[in-house]
Amino acid sequence: MHNLSDPIISINGLGPKAQEKLNNIGIYNLEHLLFHLPLRYQNKTKFTSLDDAQVGTEILVQLTIDRLEEVATRQRQLLCYLSDENNRTLLLRFFHFNQYHKQQLVRGDIIQCFGEVKIGRDGLEIHHPEYRLISKGQSNLLETTLSPVYPLTGNIHQAQLKKWINTALETLKKTSLSDNFENLAKNSMPSLKQALETLHHPKEGENLDQIAEFRHISQQRLIIEELCAHQLSLLKLKHERKSKISNIFKISKSLPKQLSKNIGFELTGAQQRCIDEINLDLSSCHPMLRLLQGDVGSGKTIVAVFACLQAVENGFQAAVMAPTEILASQHLHGFSNYFEPLGIEVAFLTGSQNTAERAQQLNAIQSGKAQVVIGTHALFQESVEFNQLGLVVIDEQHKFGVHQRLSLAQKAHNTPHQLVMTATPIPRSLTMSAYADLDSSIIDELPPGRTPVKTIALSNERKDEVVEKIKQVCKDSNQVYWVCTLIEESEVLRAESATNTHQYLQESLPTLIVVLIHGRMNKDEKSEIMKKFSKGEIDVLVATTVIEVGVNVPNASLMVIENSERLGLAQLHQLRGRVGRGADASICILMYQTPLSANATERLDILRQTNDGFKIANKDLKLRGPGEILGTQQTGIANMKIANIVRDGYLLKQVRFYSEQFLKLDEGKQYALIMRWVSDDKTQYANT
């Protein structure tokens, strides 16, 4: 007699090798086996008559063996002809077989088979069926409930896994599962025990279509519970953070006032609101962790600059981390423009600096001479020591993992305040499920005077027209980006394709200055080119996707994206966001190679229809799923046991309702829920 808390190794026939495999997917005890839910089901609850057999479906039949034949075509095959009492026939075809099979299948014997029906030259066939020889006294294939098909791991067989899970289900019958959700749901949903039993072995008559669509009440119940658990675990993280102590910034008005005079534009209402929300956090004694969302071009940078000023006024350092060198050096220029007039010292740190440069910067950072530090990942390497780090700003956060974020935060004596910026607006359902531990501010208003970018899709054959358009744009002394998006594993090939395009454009546009930039150039070269482009000394910039994020040259008004069908929505939206930053009407031309897949057509259509990053993000979520959007390091929500936030978005209201109910229960009950659903992995990062 087992207990649900017994380790799986206590199950008969489950050895150390299988134990290891199952441990790898988070299954340590019998209870964990219960939550390893079927992918789908097979129906072996009744025999199907050959008259009713539908090609492409799985059927169970009981027939008589007529004869056996071995044929040698290209591949040796064993054919076993069966028939029923009305002489309707079925052929079993085996591609792998041995002597034993041949001896077993005896003419005149009764056989039961289960498998998918195919149509062959002479009628119905099943290949490699599961079968039992009834005349030889083998057990019946007929079952009383639907048979689950489990996701497999390692080389564990379906039959083994089924047996082990059944052991757990037997144990469940005799015990009870503590289940706090049950009390909250007050009988409006099945109990955990009932739900698990139903999903492992749905009785005949259960609505299988509903189950296939994950809309069965037993599934809904588990989905809501799992999402609740995730949300609760994030809320705990938030709570933990709010119990930590950070530096209180006294909100100052003097530097911000001076800055406001220098920037040359009025902040939008949305920017001001975000600055206020941030200031409120900074002036509290608990560490800020705030997500600043805003569409491309909405003006996030200046909001971050205001936050940095508060750190500086309070005698702390601010670190600004960007995902690429280009973006980091652009921030260096952008921030320096604002800071220099105010007498604020800025340091710069990237991976490609030489030893002397680096030493000098490290020194300034350690001594505290540098008040604002801008850089790439290089900022959180071990050798970097800050004097008084008080604020961390992370730009384009989707490029960084949770761990990278944390390691920068650890460089401070007190937990620093953190501002996380993202240009990819995040759908609400994702924010709720993946970022519930962060507070969030949204810039939902673009600076005035912007004309929306007009987006056109053109096939590659119309390159000539694009070249004409470039001439026109440059005649009006605007500038052009031409992005080459060849998706190659190697930077070498990418650079090569960009080089070819560069040559083509130089030849087609002899009077214009066409310059190439790609990831294989060294950083001085790259920043030199970007500087020239910013100053308007380059007409057409041919680039690989290195310019994807953040680059800001308002005079550029045409963006051409080659092979746009190969890029994801978020990336295309980012690229397009490089234009439309000035007052001039801008155009984005999406060039594509025919024929377009249905999915690619849909992506390009969406971009043509809207400039709204939130709408695009929602579509993207549907097309790609949360895992792709957030990146795997970001969150565990991509590998949940049963829930899927895209498919199950309609349940979020209930999730919120029950999460609130859970928060009213005692801590032990809350942790019990989290432990049951949220994998070890994630509870660990709660402690980092």
Sites of contact with Mg ion (CB under 5 A): 550
Q: Which does 519 bind (CB under 5 to 8 A by kind): ligand ADP, Mg ion, none?
A: none
Measured between its terminal Cα atoms, the distance across the chain in Å is 39
Give whichever of 518 and 581 is closer to ligand ADP, judged by the CB atom.
581
Closest distance of CB 449 from Mg ion, Å: 18
Q: Which does 115 bind (CB under 5 to 8 A by kind): ligand ADP, Mg ion, none?
A: none
Q: Which does 161 bind (CB under 5 to 8 A by kind): ligand ADP, Mg ion, none?
A: none
Closest distance of CB 230 from ligand ADP, Å: 29
Q: Which does 404 bind (CB under 5 to 8 A by kind): ligand ADP, Mg ion, none?
A: none
Q: How far apart are CA 110 and CA 278, in angstroms?
A: 77
Q: Which does 298 bind (CB under 5 to 8 A by kind): Mg ion, ligand ADP, none?
A: ligand ADP
Q: How far apart are CA 277 and CA 261, in angstroms?
A: 21
Q: How far apart are CA 225 and CA 658, in angstroms?
A: 8
Give whichever of 268 and 441 is closer to ligand ADP, judged by the CB atom.
268
Q: How far is CA 112 from CA 46, 101, 235, 276, in A?
A: 11, 15, 54, 73
Give whichever of 396 and 565 is closer to Mg ion, judged by the CB atom.
396
Residue nearest to ligand ADP (CB): 299
Give whichever of 246 and 574 is closer to ligand ADP, judged by the CB atom.
574
Closest distance of CB 224 from ligand ADP, Å: 36
Q: Which does 568 bind (CB under 5 to 8 A by kind): ligand ADP, Mg ion, none?
A: none
Q: Which does 112 bind (CB under 5 to 8 A by kind): Mg ion, ligand ADP, none?
A: none
Task: Estimate to the nearest angstrom the gap between the alpha carbon of 496 and the chain centroid.
Answer: 30
Give whichever of 268 and 544 is closer to ligand ADP, judged by the CB atom.
268
Closest distance of CB 3 from ligand ADP, Å: 56
Give whichever of 190 and 613 is closer to ligand ADP, judged by the CB atom.
613
Phi, psi of 82 (to 5 degrees): -120, 160
Give whichever of 353 and 552 is closer to ligand ADP, judged by the CB atom.
552
Q: Site residues (CB under 6 A) for ligand ADP?
A: 265-268, 271, 294, 296-302, 423, 447, 550, 552, 554, 581
Contacts of 162 (CB under 8 A, 6+ apart): 147, 148, 150
Which residue from 48, 68, 71 is spatially nearest to 117, judged by alpha carbons?
Answer: 48
Phi, psi of 304 (to 5 degrees): -65, -40
Instruction: Indicate left, alpha or beta for 442 from its phi (over 0: left) and psi (-120 to 50: alpha).
Output: beta
Closest distance of CB 533 from ligand ADP, Å: 14
Closest distance of CB 636 from Mg ion, Å: 28
Cα angle at 292 between 290 and 297, to 5 degrees? Answer: 165
Q: Which does 515 bind (CB under 5 to 8 A by kind): ligand ADP, Mg ion, none?
A: none
Give whichever of 259 and 412 is closer to Mg ion, judged by the CB atom.
259
Q: How far apart are CA 355 and CA 526, in angstroms?
A: 20
Q: How far is CA 50 from CA 63, 119, 120, 213, 400, in A?
A: 10, 12, 14, 29, 58
- The residue to which tokens 């490699």 are assigned: 128
**What order of strands is seen across the sheet that includes strand 556-561?**
454-459, 587-592, 556-561, 479-483, 540-543, 514-517
Pairing of strands 556-561, 587-592: parallel
Q: Which does 299 bind (CB under 5 to 8 A by kind): ligand ADP, Mg ion, none?
A: ligand ADP
Q: What is the dihedral of CA 630, 631, 632, 634, to 10 degrees?
A: -60
Q: How far is CA 564 from CA 78, 482, 552, 556, 561, in A?
A: 50, 11, 21, 19, 6
Q: How far apart are CA 484 and CA 562, in angstroms?
A: 5
Closest distance of CB 328 from ligand ADP, Å: 13
3-state secondary structure of 88: coil
Give the ranges where 610-666 is alpha helix by DSSP (H).
613-624, 626-630, 652-663
Phi, psi of 421 (to 5 degrees): -105, 140
Pairing of strands 389-394, 417-422: parallel
Give whichever of 364 and 551 is closer to Mg ion, judged by the CB atom.
551
Closest distance of CB 296 from Mg ion, Å: 7
Closest distance of CB 306 from Mg ion, Å: 15
Bridge partner list, 561: 483, 590
Give whichever of 375 and 550 is closer to Mg ion, judged by the CB atom.
550
Closest distance of CB 436 from ligand ADP, Å: 24
Closest distance of CB 638 from ligand ADP, Å: 26
Give whichever of 227 and 393 is closer to ligand ADP, judged by the CB atom.
393
Q: Are 566 and 485 in contact (CB under 8 A)?
A: yes
Closest distance of CB 300 from Mg ion, Å: 5
Give whichever of 130 and 445 is closer to ligand ADP, judged by the CB atom.
445
Q: Which does 265 bind (CB under 5 to 8 A by kind): Mg ion, ligand ADP, none?
A: ligand ADP
Closest distance of CB 415 from Mg ion, Å: 25
Contacts of 355 (CB under 8 A, 6+ apart): none
Instruction: Indicate left, alpha or beta for 186 from its phi (over 0: left) and psi (-120 to 50: alpha).
Output: left
Q: Which does 267 bind (CB under 5 to 8 A by kind): Mg ion, ligand ADP, none?
A: ligand ADP
Give whichever of 404 and 424 is closer to Mg ion, judged by the CB atom.
424
Give whichever of 147 and 418 is closer to ligand ADP, judged by the CB atom.
418
Q: Which does 393 bind (CB under 5 to 8 A by kind): Mg ion, ligand ADP, none?
A: none
Q: Which does 268 bind (CB under 5 to 8 A by kind): ligand ADP, Mg ion, none?
A: ligand ADP
Closest distance of CB 332 from ligand ADP, Å: 14
Residue nearest to Mg ion (CB): 550
Q: Which does 148 bind (CB under 5 to 8 A by kind): Mg ion, ligand ADP, none?
A: none
